[in-house]
Chain A
Amino acid sequence: MSPKEAISVLFKSCNELKLQRETWCAAAVYFHRFFEQCSSSIAYDANLIAATCLYLASKVEEDKINIRNLIAVYYSTMHKERGEEKSLDSLQEYLCLKESIVRCELLVLRMLQFNLNYEKPHKHLRFYLTSLTAWLGKDRQIISRLSHNSKAFLNDFYRSPRCFHFKINHIAIAVIQFALECNQIKVPYDEKARVHWQQALCEDITEEIIETIIQELCRVYEIYVDLSKFVESDAYENTHCS
């Protein structure tokens, strides 16, 4: 399986395991960093790496998961992705998978040079949304749609292998802008404003940066929508089914 598909399984497993969004995000960043770092000549098992990254992220984020649960959920999710219904029954296979993850953990740690700190954009997003919604008036529906969509976009953005190349506050601003555009919401008086809301919230952001991030996000949707395996994803549900 390619990294692209493994990240899909990773996100679905996170959902199944009811992990915090910050943990999803950290796991995805480790995963992308790993594949950027490693030389392409060695074929790593993307699923093993993804499961290990998830395990590491749960340790770092103190979002504890039992390794047995992790393996069972990842296993069945992976098979579902391939269109099979299969759960992990063999003890032999379980022990083998567990051993692989424990061994792989060291490899991932080394590859990431033990640097597992990644600040997550979620609190920036929350803060920006609170500031912005004060401007948008009292329409509850609009506000909840905006916040729901931007959170979903943020989450999906971490499927992009380039996600960790951007500053987290820039990502937060860009997903809000994208959510505003998708819902055709205008920030009142923004056209006349000397300082636009983007700069008001985040000083060093430029239109180019926002544009690049949105393009990257659109690329994610192209890839995963084409695969027609994207139906379960948050944003797809929200923007297309509601």
Chain B
Amino acid sequence: MESRFADKNTGKHYEEVALIGSGAYGTVYKAKDLSKEGQIVALKKIRVPLTEDGVPATLIREISLLKQLENYNHPNIVRLLDICPGKKVERERLLILYLVFEHIEQDLATYLENCPSPGLGPDKIKEITYQLLKGVDFLHTHRIVHRDLKPQNILITSTGQVKLADFGLARIYAPSQALTSVVVTLWYRAPEVLLQSSYASSVDIWSCGCIYAELYRRKPLFCGHSENDQLTKIFEVIATPPESEWPKEVSLPWNAFAGFKGKSFESLIPEITPDALNLLKKMMTFNPSKRISAREAIKHFYFEEYELYPPEYENNNDNDYNIICNQKTRRNFRFHSDFQSAN
């Protein structure tokens, strides 16, 4: 990437500061927005092959969907600030697009790494999981399946606000465009994906379940190093499902995994409370049609206390959200208005 680029149509000006990382699909840079006093942003570079007929229709639809989501300003979704076309590589018929996102320093993976013993504590875990599910529910409502939820693309602000990133991009980057041979992690993959069966939005709930358990454990729940190994690790815990629930159209036979008795989640997460365990089990259900949905999960009794006092964010002038942690002051302050709106 050129270290600086400008868009003459809008007068936007970005200057690269550092390479954040290169994933399976492309490269992410940390950059300064020179038109906004050097505000730090995250630039995601994607390469789009131009066809005979110009920009592929699917890409146009996906990107305008991402733009449309911006109108909702959802607190648990990373902000897409701008989309900039970069240099066009004429000979290769390749278009380079930069998606400009708000930059958040920390992802959930580093957050967990840096967390001192004895861990996050049940309240913090609940708050993070709730926000995670809120974000996922928002995506599902807009018919977006994330498909690659993992701690690395869940961002967490200094005030504890959770924001999902990297959604809706899976369909933008065609699989053939995977630029690097980065191994995509299997740890958060739902069994139906590992079995290459058909799948739906429920795959995200499985990933949420894995992440939820990881918040307690501060290490991943299932660390397989191949599809088979990953499935084995899963069944060692949740037990082999009855043959009737095994998807029909898959190449891996049920026999190959038969006989796992499973073990209790309590043995893996001793400190988990009964309510929390109940939700976790519903998220880690083998049969995708029986797995809890994001909407149902939000309403689960584990989150009962949020029904009246959901975690709140306040928009301050820096366009950043702050979570108000002090429940007591909020309760006193909000009681009157809550009462009115209930009528």
Contact = CB atoms under 8 A, between A and B. Distances in A.
A-B complex is real:
yes
Interface of A: 55-56, 59-60, 62, 64, 67, 101-102, 105-107, 109-111, 113-117
A190 B64 CA distance: 42
A219 B55 CA distance: 36
A136 B9 CA distance: 52
Contacts of B50: 102
Contact of A116 (B10, B60, B88): B60
A117 B65 contact: yes
Interface in B175-233: none
Contacts of B10: 110, 113
A55 B54 contact: yes
B63 interface: yes
A67 B53 CA distance: 7
Contacts of A105: 54-55
Given A60-B60, A64-B57, A109-B55, 19 more contacts: A56-B60, A59-B55, A59-B57, A59-B60, A59-B61, A62-B57, A67-B54, A102-B50, A105-B55, A106-B55, A109-B85, A110-B10, A111-B9, A114-B63, A114-B67, A115-B67, A116-B61, A116-B64, A117-B68
5 contacts: A60-B60, A102-B50, A110-B7, A111-B9, A117-B64
A68 B65 CA distance: 28
Contacts of A114: 63-64, 67, 83
Contact of B67 (A64, A101, A111, A113): A113
Interface string B54-84: 1101001101110110000000000000110
Interface of B: 7, 9-10, 50, 53-55, 57, 60-61, 63-65, 67-68, 82-83, 85, 88, 95
Nearest to B64: A116
Contacts of B85: 106, 109-110
A159 to B, nearest CB: 24
Contacts of B82: 113
A101 B54 contact: yes
A12 B68 CA distance: 30
Contacts of B64: 60, 114-117
Contacts of B54: 55, 67, 101-102, 105
B61 A60 contact: yes
A-B pairs, top 8 by smallest CB distance, nearest first, are A59-B57, A116-B64, A102-B54, A115-B67, A117-B68, A114-B83, A105-B54, A114-B63
Contacts of A62: 57
A138 to B, nearest CB: 41
A102 B53 contact: yes
Given A59-B60, A106-B55, A110-B85, A117 B67 contact: yes
A106 B95 contact: yes
A106 B56 CA distance: 11
Contacts, number: 52
B88 A106 contact: yes
B35 to A, nearest CB: 14
Contacts of B61: 59-60, 116
Contacts of B68: 115, 117
Contacts of A64: 57
Which of A67, A105, A110, A114 has the most C-beta atoms of chain B within 10 angstroms of its own C-beta? A114
Nearest to A59: B57
A58 B9 CA distance: 25
Contacts of A106: 55, 85, 88, 95
B283 to A, nearest CB: 32
B60 A113 contact: no
Contacts of B88: 106
A107 B54 CA distance: 12
Contacts of B60: 56, 59-60, 109, 116
A227 B82 CA distance: 41
Nearest to B97: A114
A196 B298 CA distance: 41
Which of B54, B67, B82, B95 has the most C-beta atoms of chain A within 10 angstroms of its own C-beta? B54
A105 B54 CA distance: 7
B65 to A, nearest CB: 7
A68 B109 CA distance: 51
Which of B64, B88, B95 has the most C-beta atoms of chain A within 10 angstroms of its own C-beta? B64
Contacts of B57: 59-60, 62, 64
A116 to B, nearest CB: 4
Contacts of B9: 107, 110-111
A115 B60 CA distance: 9
B83 A113 contact: yes
A114 B54 CA distance: 15
B276 to A, nearest CB: 39
A101 B53 CA distance: 9
A66 B107 CA distance: 45
A113 B53 CA distance: 20
Which of B10, B50, B57, B63 has the most C-beta atoms of chain A within 10 angstroms of its own C-beta? B57
A62 B64 CA distance: 14
Which of B53, B55, B65, B83 has the most C-beta atoms of chain A within 10 angstroms of its own C-beta? B53
Contacts of A107: 9
Nearest to A56: B60
Nearest to A107: B9
